[in-house]
Amino acid sequence: MKSKIKKSYCKRWGFFLILGLPLLFSDLSYGDSLYSKIEKGSALYDSKKYDEAVKSFIDAQIESPENPKLKYNVANTHYKMRNYEEAVKNYQDVAATAQDIQLEEKSIYNIGNSMFRQGRLEEAVEYYKKALELDPNDQDAKYNLEFVREEIKKRINQAKQRENQQEQEKREKQEGKKEQEAKGQNQQPKEEQQKKQQKQQQASKEKQQKASRKQKEKTKPMSPEEAERWLRSLKEDKKKHKEREREKVAGSLRSEKDW
């Protein structure tokens, strides 16, 4: 009964059915009904008819309710039926009442298996350690102990990887959001800069147009009336200029004083 985890209780179960059952009848003088019920339960177990097998073992317990080996048979059958909680109860009962240290160790070992099957790995480790305290040479318990410890490490690492991946995804999401916000902020200055450039271009264009109009006005030919006004103003300017020159010459002489 070994897959990834060694289920050596099956081997021990077989050992008990073949060698242990005769001990039941050598200890006390049980009737044929008890023997037949145990034999029937064993046959049903071998045929994988576990529902019927457990009923037969429980019927046998009516005649021998405190027999730890019958309790062990019931526990193993519940285990095969995947009734792990019920199996644990029966294994614990066996471990608490068995005077046979080997049967006690097997029960504790199988509790470890039951805990593992329920995903209770830390508890499984503790039961394998207890089994090894009773039987340090139990190779199956040693194997399962290391196997479950490695499984715990594996699951812890997987949990950390999932956590790291979630954190990475969260950071990437936040960074993406920041980049999007930054992109939007950068987009606004670009638009403002474009508008500013357009205004500058428009102002430059208007300035050039104004300068061009002034140049055209300067080069525009005078009408006769404008020419006449211009000549008159020119003559007046010349006249005023001559008067200012005479004032400058007269003003430059100093009058003498009488004593």
115 with 124: CB under 8 angstroms? yes
Q: Which of 62-71, 109-118, 152-161 has the lowest mean pLDDT?
A: 62-71
Cα–Cα distance, 246 to 249 (Å, whole number): 5
Q: In this predicted model, which residue has the larger pLDDT, 204 or 236?
A: 204
User: pLDDT-based confidence at 200, cuts 50/70/90?
Assistant: confident
CATH class, range 9-155: mainly alpha
Residues 80-102 have a mean pLDDT of 94
| pLDDT(159) > 70 | yes
User: pLDDT-based confidence at 208, cuts 50/70/90?
Assistant: confident
Which tokens sit at 207? 């300035």
| pLDDT(20) > 60 | no
Q: Is 254 left (phi over 0), alpha (psi -120 to 50) or beta?
A: beta
User: pLDDT-based confidence at 16, cuts 50/70/90?
Assistant: very low
- pTM to 2 decimals? 0.57
Which tokens sit at 52? 């019927």
What is the reported pLDDT for 3?
47
What is the reported pLDDT for 157?
94
| pLDDT(162) > 50 | yes
Dihedral (Cα; 163, 169, 172, 173), 10-degree rounding: -120
What is the reported pLDDT for 210?
78
Angle at CA of residue 137, ends 133 and 142, nearest 5°: 75
Q: In this predicted model, which residue has the larger pLDDT, 159 or 214?
A: 159
Could you give the residue ranges of the DSSP H alpha helices within 16-138?
21-27, 32-46, 50-63, 68-80, 84-97, 101-117, 121-134
43 with 57: CB under 8 angstroms? no
92 with 68: CB under 8 angstroms? no
Which among 158, 79, 77 has a CA at the least distance from the CA of 115?
A: 79
| pLDDT(241) > 50 | yes
Average pLDDT of every residue of the chain = 77
